[in-house]
A and B are shown apart, each in its own frame.
Chain A
Amino acid sequence: MSLQIISIILGSLTLASALMVVLSKHPVRSVIYLVVTFFFITSMYIMMNAQFLAIVNMIVYAGAIMVLFLFVLMLLNLNKEVEPTTTIGAQFAAFIAGGSLFLVLITALKETLILGQSYRHQDNQIGLVKELGNLLFTKYVVAFELTSILFIAAMVGAILLAKREKQIIE
């Protein structure tokens, strides 16, 4: 019962901070609200006894990616005057694009509800490092390795893009 109350409170706080990301006027504040949102998501993983996912979410999203976001935003001089004005057409296009992404995500996540049932009745150790590692390197090893190849390809691509112009350092 108390668990349910906690998850309701956490859920509403997550939604509130996620809304603040969109509603706050200043980009830097948006990023900070996004960091707060990631922390609430981390706490949800902990509620589900998924310690490893929780901490990875904290390191990768709240730690690394958001720091880079903040880093870039701090270097931009974001004043009210230089803010580009969006036309009605652009706003409409953004609405359509965002809405269709939302629809795709909803349909994709609907399937995971059914998939998740097969793990529910086991003991709730699935989120701990040992069980997750065993599962990743036995049952899902092909998917896991393919993902890592994809990541390496993306990394090499990013480095190539950054180094396209011949630079002389030193």
Chain B
Amino acid sequence: MDTALLIEKSILVVLLFLISLGAAAYMTYFERKLAAWIQDRVGPDRAGPFGILQPIADGVKMFLKEDFIPAKADKWLFIIGPGLAMFTALITSAVVPWGPKLHLFGRDISLQVADINIGILYVFGVLSVGVYGIMIGGWASNNKYSLYGAIRASSQMISYELAMGVSAITIVLISGSLSLNDIVAQQSGVWNVLYQPVAFLIFFICALAELNRAPFDLPECESELVGGYHTEYSSMKLGLYLFSEYTSMFVSSAIMAILFFGGYNFPGMSYFSGNTLAILGIGAFAIKIFLFIFVIMWIRWTIPRFRFDQLMHLGWKTLLPLALINLLITGLVIAFKNGWF
């Protein structure tokens, strides 16, 4: 093993960790400001200019609150739950290609922690395991509202994973690779969303459901379930749950930008080269991620919550057949182009 490579990757991992956490922290601020703007309020404005220090104040508050474990709770699982949620939210960023190769200190530095050739499957693997944090936490609380939240979360995530996977397969068919790096590199001309608008729409809706974001935030539906799966949680354990939601929002925005909106590609990128290209690419990618986050938040403050049977109906009877038909048509077109008929 190359020592320089090891150092380079370790720095990248630490940097990604800090960026994900920082982004998640400031997304809470952004969400509150945006909600305030949509509802014609001022929003947080006490801590620092424009309330810019609000996330730090929130973090300090979370740490200083009393950490409480209910008497009838399964103690170990209760502690493991939030950690697991945060862990699965963070590890997806390992396969994301954040930009073109950077040239520093006489070395080509790839801005991707691991270029595994099954990148997209890895994302789905982490996604399917991601539900454990919520399930274990909700069950271990030994509270009926938490249990309902956990059951809702798991059934919702299992249902929407299918349509999401099928719509992602169309992208794999088009690019002929499971590696996220290849998928991004192939979109330097035309972005996939132009070929696959239906798949993108399905993927986006399913991503909202997987993230437990409004209008699909039934697992923590406060008007029915008090607080859902984190009813019994307090202090930084609650903080981790809330944080993991924002971290996975950040990462899934990145995944959507990669699969459908060309990742770090931007129009007119052939005029640049070397480090300028790399930095501009990272900038373009960051802007795309930001736009996705904005749209997700915008939806939360616009559309009312679904009912649970409507949610299941949408997932199984609308999105899944639509995704399958879309997949069939894509396959036929590709077969036709390759001259199979």
Contact = CB atoms under 8 A, between A and B. Distances in A.
Interface of A: 28-29, 32, 35, 51-52, 55-56, 58-59, 62-64, 67-68, 70-71, 74-75, 128-130, 169-170
Nearest to A66: B132
A62 B147 CA distance: 21
Nearest to B120: A55
B122 A55 contact: yes
B154 A63 contact: no
A67 B125 CA distance: 13
Nearest to A62: B129
A132 B161 CA distance: 24
Nearest to B129: A63
B158 A67 contact: yes
20 contacts: A28-B74, A29-B77, A32-B77, A32-B136, A51-B118, A52-B118, A55-B118, A58-B128, A59-B124, A59-B125, A59-B128, A62-B128, A64-B161, A67-B135, A67-B154, A67-B157, A71-B135, A71-B151, A74-B150, A129-B118
Given A58-B128, A130-B117, 4 more contacts: A32-B77, A58-B129, A67-B131, A74-B150
Contact of A71 (B124, B128, B136, B155): B155
Interface residues of B, number: 27
A74 B147 contact: yes
A30 to B, nearest CB: 13
B121 A56 contact: yes
A170 B317 CA distance: 14
A62 B139 CA distance: 18
Which one of A35, A55, A70 has the highest number of Cβ atoms from chain B below 10 Å of its Cβ?
A55
B129 A129 contact: no
Interface string B106-118: 0000000000111
Contacts of A67: 128, 131-132, 135, 154, 157-158
A85 B111 CA distance: 58
Given A51-B116, A128-B117, A68 B158 contact: yes
Nearest to B136: A32
Contacts of A64: 128, 158, 161
B178 interface: yes
Nearest to A170: B309
Contacts of A59: 121, 124-125, 128
Contacts of A56: 121
A71 B154 contact: yes
A55 B77 contact: no
A29 B128 CA distance: 19
B114 to A, nearest CB: 11
